[in-house]
Amino acid sequence: MKKSILMLLPVIMLLAPGCILIDHENPGCIGSNCNEYPGDIRFYWAFEMANGTTTDWCNVADVARVDVVIYDNWGDLEFEAYDRPCGDMGAIIDNFWPGTYELQLSGICSSGRITHEGWWEFDVYEGTNDFGTVVLDYVGRCY
């Protein structure tokens, strides 16, 4: 009985479903993302004012610098840049693998208080991904 079971084992293994994808142009690549290439993220920032209007002028919004943080779909930190000059007016960040990401921006006034912030979820594809202007919500004035 043991002998017949052992003889059936190789037949079962050959017939069992399974798939491993191998990219022959890139032999080090195994998996479903072999033919995907990284993308760039491009966005600009603007700020909601206390009265509900929007401006992209940092001095009008009283924002001196912006913190930029990006998380992947599982909540792992992918990118962080703190104390970016608000005058940059946005960012181009390169080398993100296709997938879903979450962007967190915080606008900080000259005294160090967060006056604006926002969270956005976006999908990145190969090439340049232009997300336009994101508007940070007003959370309080600078003291």
Give dist(CA 118, CA 103) in Å, integer.
8
Residues 1-10 have pLDDT tens digits of 555 545 544 5
Q: Is the pTM of this model over 0.85?
A: no
Domains and CATH numbers, the chain: 39-138 (2.60.40.2100)
Q: Report pLDDT digits (tens) over 60-113.
A: 999 999 999 999 999 999 999 999 999 999 999 999 999 999 999 999 999 999
Asked if 49 and 138 count as a contact pair (C-beta separation under 8 A), the reply is: yes
**Gap between the Cα atoms of 91 and 66, Å rounded:** 10
Q: Which residues contact 5 (CB under 8 A, 6 or more apart)?
A: none
d(CA 80, CA 82): 6
Q: What is the pLDDT of residue 23?
A: 42
Is residue 84 a contact partner of residue 91, using CB atoms and an 8 Å limit? yes
Per-residue pLDDT band at 12 (split at 50, 70, 90): very low
Partners of 71 in beta bridges: 77, 102
